[in-house]
Structure 1
Amino acid sequence: MNFRELTPSVIGVLVRRGAGFAAAEDAVQDALIDAVRVWPDEPPRDPLGWLVTVAWRRYLDATRADAARRRREDVVSEEPAPGPAASVDDTLQLYFLCAHPSLTPASAVALTLRAVGGLTTRQIADAYLVPEATMAQRISRAKRTVSGVRFDQPGDVATVLRVLYLVFNEGYSGDVDLAAEAIRLTRQLAASVDHPEVAGLLALMLLHHARRRARTDESGSLVRLAAQDRGRWDTALIAEGVEILQAALARDRLGEFQAQAAIAALHADAPAAEETDWVQIVEWYDELVALTGSPVVRLNRAVAVGEADGARAGLKALADLDAGLPRHAAAAAYLHERDGDPATAARLYAEAARRATTTPERDHLTRQAARLNALLDS
Structure 2
Amino acid sequence: MKKLTLLGSTGSIGTQTLQIVEAYPDRFQVVGLTAQRNMTLLAGQVRQFHPEIVAVGGEAERAELLELLAGYAAPPDIRVAAQGVVEVAAHGDAQVVVSGVVGVAGLLPTLAAIEAGKDIALANKETLVAAGPVVMPRIQVKGVHLLPVDSEHSAIFQCLQGGKELNRILLTASGGAFRDWPVERMKTATVKDALKHPNWVMGRKITIDSATLMNKGLEVIEAHYLFGLDYEQIEIIIHPESIVHSLVEWADTSVLAQLGWPDMRLPILYALSWPERIPTPWRPLDLVKIGTLNFKAPDHEKYPCMRLAYQVGRVGGTLPAVLNAANEAVVELFLNEQISFADIPRLLALTCEAHPTVSAPALADILEADRWAREQVQIQALRTVITPV
Give the alignment's TM-score, normalised by structure 1: 0.30
- Higher radius of gyration, 1 or 2: 1
Greater percentage in strand: 2
Report which of the two has the higher share of helix. 1
Higher relative contact order, chain-length normalized (CA < 8 Å, sep 6+): 2
